[in-house]
Structure 1
Amino acid sequence: MSPLHASFLALTSAYAGMAALAFAMDRHHAQLTGAQEVPLARQRLLRCAGALLLAAAGIPCVLAWGATVGPVAWLGWLSAGALGAAGFIGAAARVAAGVACAAAAAAVLGLVHGV
């Protein structure tokens, strides 16, 4: 796996995971849907999906850069995904949710195809 491909997969996974975790919170869910509280089932689903996507972001990093540099790159991409999600959700929550869904789909397809 090339470093460019790994970077794309890690960033899309990290962004989608951070956005899922953000939308599991009442405040950001209210920005998205207008409902004041997140239903418990949806909250659990978003948290599980976010955690899985954040963990999956480490796979291409370790494959591209090895076991020594890969975790460091993974932490960097997690930070970049968090920054992107925080900025995008604050500006346009609905658009951020759509981009997060597309990013999650691209990341999962890329991971399945690339690994």
Structure 2
Amino acid sequence: MQQGAVARYLGELQDNGGLKGTDIANITDVSKATVSRWRSGSMKPHPRNELILSDLYYIVGRLQEYYSADEIRTWLYARHPQLGGQRAIDLIHEGKSIDVLSVLDRLDGGAYL
């Protein structure tokens, strides 16, 4: 992920997913100031955080088909029965985005979540 792409991803996560710098900092275990440095291009995320941002970006894009930005943020933070009572944001943080994507596949199939 190039530095320009990181800034674009962060902007789109905010605009399309309702996620704030604090949300991004929490999911990647960095400070809000670090997220600001990523956005400005003065610092590049570590590969693990690039993966988290990439997964989050993809998931937010999928959720856009169904929800507004504020609803996406709420969906990511809510506990879901389909995720065993876990929150999507925590699973993404733990590198378990595939579990979240399986729920989205069911949503695509017509199940309401």
- TM (norm. structure 2) is 0.36
- TM (norm. structure 1) is 0.36
